[in-house]
Amino acid sequence: MREYNCDLIRNVAVVGHGHVGKTSLLESLLFKAEIITRQGSTTQGNTTSDHDPEEIRRQISIHSTIIPIEWSDHKLNMIDVPGYADFIGEAISTLRVVDSALIVFDAIDGYGVGSERLWKEADKNNLPKIVFINKMDKERANFDEVVEKIRAKFGKNLVPVHAPDGQGKDFRGIIHLLKEKAADPKYNEMLIEAAADQDEKILEEFMEGKEIPEQEISAAVKKGISQGKIIPIMIGSAVTGVGIPELFSAIVKWLPRPEGQVAEPLSAYVFKSVAEPHVGELSYVRVYSGSLEHSSTVKNASKGHSERVGQVVISRGKHKAEVQRVQAGDIATLPKLKNTRTGDTLCHEKSNTVLPHVEFPEANVHLAVRPKSKADQEKMGLGFSTFMKEDPTFKMRYDKETKEVVISGMGDVQLEIILGKLRKRHNLEIETSSPQVPYKETIRGKAKAQGKYKKQTGGHGQYGDTMIKIEPLERGKGFEFVNNISGGAIPKNYIPSVEKGVKEAMLGGVVSGYPVVDLKVILYDGSYHDVDSSDLAFKIAASMGFKKAFVDAKPVLIEPIVDIEVHIPSEFVGNVVSDLNKRRGRIVSIEEEKVIAQVPQAEIARYATDLRSFTHGAGMFAAKYSHYEEVLPQTQEKLCLKYQKEREMGSSSAR
C-alpha cells in the first residue's frame, strides 16, 4: 500500500447497533474495491473484520477493527466498531481518533440502543455523519417508517439523499434525489429545503421553480455535513451490493479529510493496544502531525521515555503489511513497543506534546475471582494485568476488607470473554462469585468494661488489666483512641499495646466478623504487675475489654449505599423506579430519560444484567460509593447467626 497525504485520507468509524450489518457492509465495500474476491459472512465466520475466535463464535464484533480500502485514489480507513454495550470502551477510543462516522441502521427495525449510545459518543467528538439504511432487500423493509423513526429520535437534520425503487423482495435499486424525483415528493422537498438552508442561491432557484443542478445540491450537502446541519440518509444492501458505489462516492466527496500537517513535529495517539498470539504487543496509533517512520526512535511523552519503532504496519483485520512510513492523518500499527499503552502520546524526541486522554466510563459489573489452585494466584494476577493494558474499561483490584480479588467490566459478556482468554492463554481455571458486601459493625450506645488477662505458668506469668469506655462517632469518622490514664495506673510503654489490642479486635469484628468502625475508645484506668506485665498481656487484655464493652453498647451492622444514575428511554422510567423501590432504593430525582437514586450495594450485584433484561437492552447505569447506613434488623440477625455458627463449627473460614 502506497503512502497517502491528508487530502486523500478519510478516517471513518462504522457504527450502529448489533446485527444491523456493519461487518457485512464492510465486506461489500472490500469486494467492490476488489480487495477480496468473495464476500464473507458473519454466519460462516469468514469476514475480514470479525476474525477473533470469540467474534466468530458469538457472531458479534468485540474489537474495533481497521479496514483500509483504496478507492478513487483515496485511502479510506474504515473502522468496524462494536455495537454491543459491553465493548463501549472500544467504541469510545475509536471515535476519539476518526474524523467522521458512518451510522448504519436496519431497514426493518431502524435503530437500537447501541445506535443511541454511539450517536451520543459521535456527537461528543463533533463528528460529521452519514447514515446508511441497510437491508433494503429484506422482507418487511420499510423505508418510510425507518426514516420517520430515526428523524424523530436523532433530529430533523437527517435528510434522505436516496429513496428506494421498491423494497423488500421488490427492491430494484436507488432513486438519487439529487437528480431524480421520488414517488413521494416530500423527500425531494426535504432535501431541497436542507440544501437551501446552506445556500441562498438554491433557495432562490427553488422559489422560482428552476431546475437546481446536482452539483449545487451536492456542494450544499457537503457544507451542511461539515457543520453538523445535514446528515444525509443513504440506502442499499450489503448483501447485493446495491448502494455501495454511491456510498464510496459520498465518503470521498462529502466527508472531511483529517487535520494535520506533515511539516510539523511528530505527534501520534495510541488508541488501542492488544496482545496477539504469535505476534506480541500491538499498538494502534493515529498520527496527528509529522510522520511515523520504521526504524526510528520516538518519545512516549505520557511516560517520559523513548521507544524504538522497529516496524510500521498497515493492518486490515488480521492481515498486516509493512510500510516505510505513514504521514499525518493516517492510522498505523506498531508492533512490540516496550512500555506504551492505550492513551499514550508518541512524539518527536525533542517534543513534550501530550494529546488529550480519553475518559472511559466506570465499570459496573463485578466478579470475585480465585484460581482453582492457590499456586496459580500470582499467575492469575499477571494474566489479568495484561488484559487491563489492552482494555481500559477492565479493572482488577484486591479488596482488603473482603480479602477478595475482584474484576470489573462493562458487562457479563466482556468478563466471560476475558476469563475465556485467560483460560486459553495461561491454562488457568478460575472460579467466580458475586463479590461479598463489605458490611461493617458499629455501635449506637455507650458502655464500659474491664479487660483483665492473668496467666501463671511457672516463672514469669502474664498480667494486663485495662478499664475502657466506648462511645459512637459520627458516621465515617473511623476510630479514635484516647489515653486518659493518670497516676501511672498503666505505664506509658504499655499504652501502644492497648491501642493495638483494640485495633486488632476491631479488625476481626465482634458480633458478625465484619470490621468495626466509627467509635471512640477511652482508656481510663487499669493496673499492672512489676514482673508479669508485658506488651502481649496488655494487648490481650485490651481486646477482651473492648469486646465486652462492644456487646453492651448496642452493636449494629451498617452497609454501603451507592449513588446510582440510570439512563433509559422514557418509556422505561416507571419500570426502573418500581424496580429500584423493590431494591430498597431512595429516589433522588426523576427526569425524562434519567433516574437518580441511592441504593444499598447488596441490592445491585446483578443490576447490569437485570436492567438490560427489563429494558430490552436499552438501559445503562453508573454507580459509585456514597456512604454507610444501618442494615435492616432481619439482615443483621441473619449475618450474626451465620457468624456464630461458623465459630461454633470452628470453621477456618470464619471472618
Q: What is the pLDDT of residues 190-218, one digit of tens each?
A: 999 999 999 989 988 888 888 899 999 99
The counts of H helices and E strands in the chain are 16, 32
**Same domain for 86 and 105:** yes
**325 is a domain residue:** yes
Position 548, amino acid? K
Quickly list H helices, 447-572: 495-508, 535-552
**Same domain for 629 and 530:** no
| DSSP letter assigned to residue 456 | -
**190 is a domain residue:** no
Crossing angle, helix 244-254 and helix 214-226, to 10 degrees?
A: 60
Q: Which of 373, 404, 433 is the last residue of a domain?
A: 433
Please say if the pLDDT value at position 268 is more than 70: yes
Q: Which of 553, 571, 587 is the last residue of a domain?
A: 553
pLDDT single digits (tens) 85-138: 889 999 999 999 999 999 999 999 888 777 888 999 999 999 999 999 999 999
**Same domain for 447 and 578:** no
Please say if the pLDDT value at position 566 is more than 80: yes
Q: In what order do the strands lie in the sheet with 74-80?
A: 65-71, 74-80, 9-15, 100-106, 129-134, 231-235, 158-160
pLDDT confidence of residue 106: 93
Rounded Cα distance, 558 and 61, in Å = 43
CATH number reported for the structural domain that contains residue 571 in this entry: 3.30.70.240
**Same domain for 115 and 56:** yes
pLDDT single digits (tens) 613-634: 888 877 888 899 999 999 999 9
Task: Give the largest Cα separation in the chain, rounded.
Answer: 117
**Same domain for 56 and 178:** yes
**Same domain for 102 and 39:** yes
Work out the average pLDDT over 26-55: 91
CATH number reported for the structural domain that contains residue 429 in this entry: 3.30.70.870
Burial of 89 (0-12, 13-18, 19+ CB in 10 A): buried
Please say if the pLDDT value at position 535 is more than 50: yes
Crossing angle, helix 186-198 and helix 200-207, to 10 degrees?
A: 140
**Same domain for 613 and 518:** no
**278 is a domain residue:** yes
Give the three-state DSSP class for 396.
strand
Q: Looking at the 3D structure of the chain, how many domains does it have?
A: 5
pLDDT confidence of residue 653: 47
Work out the average pLDDT over 592-609: 92
Mean residue pLDDT across the chain: 93
Please say if the pLDDT value at position 652 is more than 50: no
Rounded Cα distance, 599 and 626, in Å = 9
Three cell numbers, residue 602: 447488596
**384 is a domain residue:** yes
CATH number reported for the structural domain that contains residue 448 in this entry: 3.30.230.10
CATH number reported for the structural domain that contains residue 331 in this entry: 2.40.30.10
- What percent of the chain clears pLDDT 70, i.e. is strictly above it? 99
| DSSP letter assigned to residue 553 | S
- Write down the pTM of the prediction: 0.86
Cα angle 312-317-322, degrees, rounded to a multiple of 5: 20
DSSP string, 226-290: HTTS-EEEEE--TTT-TTHHHHHHHHHHHSPPPP--TTSPPEEEEEEEEEETTTEEEEEEEEEES
CATH number reported for the structural domain that contains residue 14 in this entry: 3.40.50.300
**290 is a domain residue:** yes
**341 is a domain residue:** yes
**Same domain for 473 and 371:** no
pLDDT confidence of residue 458: 67
Confidence of residue 567 (pLDDT cuts 50, 70, 90): confident
Q: What residues contact residue 541 under an 8 Å CB cut-off, 6+ apart? A: 451, 452, 453, 464, 465, 466, 498, 501, 526
First to last CA, the chain: 62
**Same domain for 243 and 133:** yes
**Same domain for 84 and 54:** yes
pLDDT single digits (tens) 309-353: 999 999 999 899 999 999 999 999 999 998 999 999 999 999 999
**Same domain for 413 and 328:** no
**515 is a domain residue:** yes
Please say if the pLDDT value at position 568 is more than 90: no
- What percent of the chain clears pLDDT 90, i.e. is strictly above it? 76
- Domain of residue 535 covers 441-553
Q: Which of 375, 410, 433 is the last residue of a domain?
A: 433
CA dihedral 415, 372, 404, 362 (to 10 degrees): -10
Burial of 464 (0-12, 13-18, 19+ CB in 10 A): buried
Q: Rounded to whole angstroms, what are the CA distances from 446 to 442, 469, 552, 555?
A: 11, 7, 8, 10
Phi and psi at 238, nearest 5°, equal -65, -30
**In 3D, which of 134, 338, 85 has the Cα closest to residue 243?**
134
Please say if the pLDDT value at position 457 is more than 80: no
| DSSP letter assigned to residue 346 | E
**Same domain for 126 and 86:** yes
Rounded Cα distance, 464 and 487, in Å = 17
pLDDT confidence of residue 654: 44
Confidence of residue 389 (pLDDT cuts 50, 70, 90): confident
Work out the average pLDDT over 271-299: 91
Work out the average pLDDT over 55-67: 90
**80 is a domain residue:** yes
